[in-house]
Amino acid sequence: MSGARTAPDAETAGRMVEGVLDRLASSGDRAACEAAEELVRVLMEFYGGGFARVMDLLGRRPDRPAREAVEALLRDELVAGLLVLHGLHPEDTPARIARALDALPQDVESTGFDPATGELRLRLVGSGGCGCGGSPDAVEQAARDTLACFAPEVTAVTWEADTASGPVLLQIGAGPPGASVSGPNGRPPATATP
């Protein structure tokens, strides 16, 4: 494997980071030095959180088969994000998109992904007809956040109408039992379904 780069061990990596920080400090640019130290702190917290999550997920059932352990890791947003970031995630883009959509609190389906543009077309399904699900903005934000972890190749999301579930019915009634509600003509208002 000529040209293959080997990862440094922890001690070597630590010395390399210290060397870079020392060079920045000797430049006299205090703001750049503080920014670099902050960057190192943020990255250490990110990777530390990822390793802690791996150990937690594996430690919950240490006797389970390896395939189940791997599946638990691939379902976790933080761990999956780290694997994708480093090109180590074993699933292709469509499988990771499906995994992201399965993780959402509402039923959302893909109607197509264009790898050339990064556009993913989605449709909200199974709303139950009552209009009681999360707000469209909340569902869209949850989808974007989850896709960013599992499938960062998705750079644009387009929402399509769910034509299969029909119109959402809105029930308008006379109010709670015992309440006296009258319409403009003195009679109870009619129930409307737009």
Inform me whether the pLDDT recorded for 194 exceeds 90: no
| Alpha-carbon gap, residue 114 to 120, rounded angstroms | 6
pLDDT at 161: 81
pLDDT at 153: 93
Task: Encode pLDDT of 42-69 as tens digits.
Answer: 988 998 888 888 888 888 888 888 889 8
- pTM flag (> 0.85): no
Q: For residue 51, what are the CA distances in angstroms to 1, 30, 55, 146?
A: 28, 31, 6, 20
What's the rounded mean pLDDT across residues 107-129?
86
Sequence-ordered list of residues with C-beta below 8 angstroms from that of 37, at least 6 positions apart, any chain: 21
- 8-state DSSP, 123: E
In the block, residue with structure tokens 């709670």 = 176
For the chain, which domains are there?
A: 18-75 (no CATH), 91-160 (3.30.300.130)
Task: Encode pLDDT of 4-19 as tens digits.
Answer: 567 777 788 888 888 9
The mean of the pLDDT values for the chain is 79
Task: Encode pLDDT of 97-109 as tens digits.
Answer: 999 999 998 899 9
Buried b (16+ CB within 10 A) or exposed e, 57-74: beeeeeeeeeeebeebbb
| Alpha-carbon gap, residue 24 to 37, rounded angstroms | 10
Counting Cβ atoms within 10 Å, is residue 123 exposed (0-12), middle (13-18) or buried (19+)?
Answer: middle
pLDDT at 137: 83
